[in-house]
Amino acid sequence: MEQTLSIIKPDAVKKGVIGKIVDRFESNGLRIAAMKKLELSKKDAQNFYAVHRERPFFGELVEFMTSGPVVVMVLEGEDAVSKNRKLMGATNPKEAEKGTIRADFAESIDANAVHGSDSLENANIEINFFFAKREIS
Ligand code: ATP
Ligand code: MG
To which H or E segment does residue 15 belong?
helix 10-15
The best mutation among 4, 11, 82, 91 to test binding of ligand 1, ranked by most ligand atoms within 8 Å of the C-beta, falls on 91
Distance from residue 110's CA to the centre of ligand 1 (Å):
7
H or E segment to which residue 58 belongs:
helix 58-65
Return per-residue pLDDT of the chain as tens, 137 residues: 999 999 999 999 999 999 999 999 999 999 999 999 999 999 999 999 999 999 999 999 999 999 999 999 999 999 999 999 999 999 999 999 999 999 999 999 999 999 999 999 999 999 999 999 999 99
Does the beta carbon of 107 lie inside 6 Å of ligand 1? no
The pTM of the whole model exceeds 0.95: yes
- For ion ligand 2, residues whose CB falls within 5 Å: 118
**Residue 3 confidence (pLDDT):** 98
Residues 6 or more apart from 55 whose CB is under 8 A from it? 61
- Tell me if residue 108 falls in helix, strand or coil: coil
List all residues 6 or more positions away from 19 whose beta carbon is below 8 Å from its beta carbon. Answer: none
CA 134 to centroid of ligand 1, rounded, Å: 30
- Catalytic site includes residue 115: yes
